[in-house]
């Protein structure tokens, strides 16, 4: 019987090993889904049966599973959820793993001989199936959305989104960056990018960095100098945050040329710590939720 520790190690190792293998091939697995049209529109995060987006490492795990098996539908269901919706999983189909955080209690003895009970966190794994692996579900799980008709010369909803964050976003120069000392984001002029979506994806990356400020999420990985492991972890968080945010804003990111150099740094971090990608994905989700929280809330 597998222990909680063994199961936890297996999940961390399996997911991290897949991402490391993809990076070693020069592929960033979190950018693969942008090619597919699907039932939720052009791009999206993986969605639960209710339409609620997945968070953290599950986004990467299900994107990877969809890519490997050729699914374009974003919806994922458990065996029981498919039955409750009046459908069923097709015979012979194999599910995809997702995880959620849980705890178990462990009794330990203190120095004075008394017992104390500790809550030990670990990951539990369960199986979901893509809607394309199911039959008999309601029609909206299968119906393809109309192809997007908006032009990308000017993406007004994206501009409004970042304006709502009240981040100090400046234009000029030939480099994109977030300056934590001055607490501002700076991007080259829009006209210097390949298109408006490339500009928006770059802005999403830098504004994810903006969330790390001590007055916001106070995210710190022990960065001491440019290029150290703390720096690489923060870049990975911003990279994933940009991918998640682009999915939520329905824009298609492009690979930034200057990020090719980061792959070696990410590989070092991931190989040294099997939990690093889980940590980065969690921080990226928190950053995106923070940015979503800065948007005007609909009147109830």
Angle, helices 4-24/57-69, rounded to nearest 10 degrees: 60
Residues 165 and 133 in one domain: no
Residues 154 and 68 in one domain: no
Q: Is the pLDDT of residue 186 over 90?
A: yes
Residues 99 and 109 in one domain: yes
Distance, in Å, from the CA atom of 272 to the CA atom of 87, rounded to the nearest integer, reads 44
Residues 48 and 143 in one domain: yes
Q: Which of 90, 117, 149 is the last residue of a domain?
A: 149
Q: What is the mean pLDDT of the segment spanning 254-276? A: 77
| Tens-place pLDDT, residues 235-260 | 899 999 998 999 899 887 665 555 55
Q: Which of 133, 149, 165 is the last residue of a domain?
A: 149
Q: Which of 149, 173, 197 is the last residue of a domain?
A: 149
Least confident of 28-42, 130-144, 240-254, 277-291: 28-42
| pLDDT value for 33 | 43
Q: Is the pLDDT of residue 150 over 60?
A: no
Residues 123 and 2 in one domain: yes
In order of 143, 146, 182, 280, the CA distances from 241 in angstroms are 29, 27, 22, 9
Question: What is the chain's length?
Answer: 300
Residues 33 and 132 in one domain: yes
Residues 9 and 128 in one domain: yes
DSSP 8-state code for residue 51: S
| pLDDT value for 262 | 74
Residues 200 and 282 in one domain: yes
Residues 107 and 217 in one domain: no
Q: Is the pLDDT of residue 31 over 80?
A: no
| Tens-place pLDDT, residues 91-108 | 999 999 999 887 777 777
Which residue range forms the structural domain that includes residue 8? 1-149
Q: Is the pLDDT of residue 57 over 80?
A: yes
Number of compact structural domains in the chain: 2
Distance, in Å, from the CA atom of 103 to the CA atom of 181, rounded to the nearest integer, reads 39
- The reported pTM is 0.77
> Residue 15: pLDDT band by 50, 70, 90 thresholds?
confident
């Amino acid at each position: 019987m597998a222990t909680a520790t063994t199961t936890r190690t297996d999940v961390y190792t399996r997911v991290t090993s897949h991402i490391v293998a993809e990076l070693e091939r020069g592929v960033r697995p979190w950018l693969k889904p942008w090619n597919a049209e699907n039932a939720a529109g052009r791009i999206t995060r993986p969605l639960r049966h209710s339409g609620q987006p997945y968070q953290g490492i599950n986004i990467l795990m299900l994107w990877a599973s969809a890519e490997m098996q050729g699914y374009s539908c974003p919806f994922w269901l458990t065996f029981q959820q498919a039955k409750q919706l009046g459908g069923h999983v097709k015979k012979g189909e194999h599910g995809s793993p997702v995880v959620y955080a849980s705890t178990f209690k462990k009794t330990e003895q203190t120095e004075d001989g008394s017992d104390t009970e500790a809550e030990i966190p670990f990951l539990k794994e369960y199986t979901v199936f893509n809607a394309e692996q199911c039959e008999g579900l309601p029609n909206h799980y299968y119906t393809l959305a109309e192809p997007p008709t908006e032009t990308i010369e000017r993406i007004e909803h994206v501009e409004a989104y970042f304006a709502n964050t009240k981040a100090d976003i400046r234009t000029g120069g030939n480099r994109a960056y977030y300056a934590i000392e001055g607490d501002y984001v700076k991007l080259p002029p829009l006209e210097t990018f390949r298109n408006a979506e490339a500009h928006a994806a770059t802005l999403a990356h830098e504004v994810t960095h903006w969330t790390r400020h001590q007055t916001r999420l106070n995210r710190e990985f022990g960065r001491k100098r440019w290029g150290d492991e703390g720096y690489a972890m923060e870049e990975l968080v911003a990279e994933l945050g940009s991918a998640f945010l682009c999915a939520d804003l329905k824009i298609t990111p492009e690979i930034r040329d200057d990020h090719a150099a980061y792959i070696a740094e990410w590989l070092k971090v991931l190989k040294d710590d099997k939990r690093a990608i889980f940590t980065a994905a969690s921080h990226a989700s928190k950053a995106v939720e923070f940015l979503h929280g800065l948007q005007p809330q609909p009147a109830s």
